[in-house]
Amino acid sequence: MNFEVMVTCAVTGAGDTVEKNPNVPVTPRDIAASAIDAAKAGAAIAHIHVRDPETGKGSRDLELYKEVVDRVRSSGTDVIINLTSGMGGDWVVNEKDPSLPGAGTDMIGPSERLAHIKDLRPEICSLDCGTMNFGNGNEIYISTPPYLRKMAELTKEWGVKPELEVFELGHIRFAKQMIAEDLIASPPMFQICLGIPWGADHSVDSLKVMKDELPLDAEWAGFGISRMQMPMAAAAVAMGGNVRVGLEDNIYLERGVLATNAQLVERSIEIITRMGADIMTPTQARKKLCLAES
């Protein structure tokens, strides 16, 4: 059991959720406001993607990231900023010629994936620790060992804590290899991501197996998508971990009721406190993650 819990809010993501819930923030103004609202509701960390304001699709435009970060930082709201570095790894198979990329491919190198991290220097950035199938389409997300080693090396050089996002056991295995190679500063920070097709299922059994493979000194959180968001939050706390909620992973507060990010944070905190745990402030979380020493 974890009695001092960090809550992360993943405020928007890059998935096809904008048309499903009008509360999913799209513009930099709305993304920043939603992150601020989540922090005021009790989240210590805001995990941030940006979207194209015209289309609502996920983007890696540096100016969009800059506007969001500037708005959050100038708001006077204390929250740890965690920017995604997962954009730029999408490969869509060209069915006419599988040796070539198909429409929708967005594939760039490790330095390009971190351009906004280098420029904005958030306290944390995500690092997706392996290649995997996403969904039932003819596409994959590519994150190779050389790419990951280079990204880990750069984030360590810049003093940015990588949040090691792991979607199955092989990702944990490689993350531990990077730790052994001294590419990841102590304590390592893991996010166990459950329920995304086709990674590990969002079940208590999957969470337990993956948690047991983490390094002993790891700080970790776990989440499930959709209706398993709150059950996996409770399970993570019971197993000694931290919590991630937010509209990136789930758009409902309860059956048929669309959520806001602040409401999801509030609901998770209600569960956590009823379990007898306290909620960590951003200052406490920084100390726990050794961010102040970065």
**Per-residue pLDDT tens digits of the chain, which is 294 residues long:** 999 999 999 999 999 999 999 999 999 999 999 999 999 999 999 999 999 999 999 999 999 999 999 999 999 999 999 999 999 999 999 999 999 999 999 999 999 999 999 999 999 999 999 999 988 999 999 999 999 999 999 999 999 999 999 999 999 999 999 999 999 999 999 999 999 999 999 999 999 999 999 999 999 999 999 999 999 999 999 999 999 999 999 999 999 999 999 999 999 999 999 999 999 999 999 999 999 543
Is residue 215 one of the residues assigned to a domain? yes
Residue 274's domain spans which residues? 4-87+161-289
Task: Respond yes or no on whether the N-terminal peptide bond of residue 91 is cis (omega within 30° of 0).
Answer: no
Q: Which of 147, 105, 104, 106 is nearest to 127 (CA)?
A: 147
Is residue 9 one of the residues assigned to a domain? yes
pLDDT score of 216: 95
Q: Any residues with CB less than 8 A from the CB of 70 and at least 6 apart, and which?
A: none
Is residue 166 one of the residues assigned to a domain? yes
Is residue 96 one of the residues assigned to a domain? no
pLDDT score of 177: 98
pLDDT score of 209: 98
Q: Which of 65, 71, 38 is nearest to 53 (CA)?
A: 65
Amino acid in position 190? F
Is residue 17 one of the residues assigned to a domain? yes
Q: How far is CA 119 from CA 76, 100, 151, 238, in A?
A: 21, 32, 14, 38
pLDDT score of 293: 46
Is residue 121 one of the residues assigned to a domain? no
Instruction: Please tell me whether the overall predicted TM-score, pTM, comes out greater than 0.85 for this model.
Output: yes
Contact 25, 52 (CB under 8 A): no
Task: Respond yes or no on whether the N-terminal peptide bond of residue 187 is cis (omega within 30° of 0).
Answer: yes
Q: Which of 232, 148, 163 is nearest to 196 (CA)?
A: 232
User: How is residue 53 annotated by DSSP?
Assistant: T
Is residue 143 one of the residues assigned to a domain? no
pLDDT score of 135: 87
E strand map for 112-237:
124-128, 132-133, 139-141, 161-166, 189-194, 219-224
pLDDT score of 292: 56
Q: How far is CA 155 from CA 82, 121, 290, in A?
A: 13, 9, 15
CATH code (residue 270)? 3.20.20.70
Tokens of 175: 């993350």
Give me the number of domains the chain comprises: 1
C-alpha to C-alpha distance for 152 and 160, rounded to whole angstroms:
9
pLDDT score of 188: 98
pLDDT score of 121: 97
C-alpha to C-alpha distance for 17 and 15, rounded to whole angstroms:
6
- CA Rg value for the chain: 18
C-alpha to C-alpha distance for 220 and 188, rounded to whole angstroms:
8
H helices then E strands: how many in the chain? 10, 18
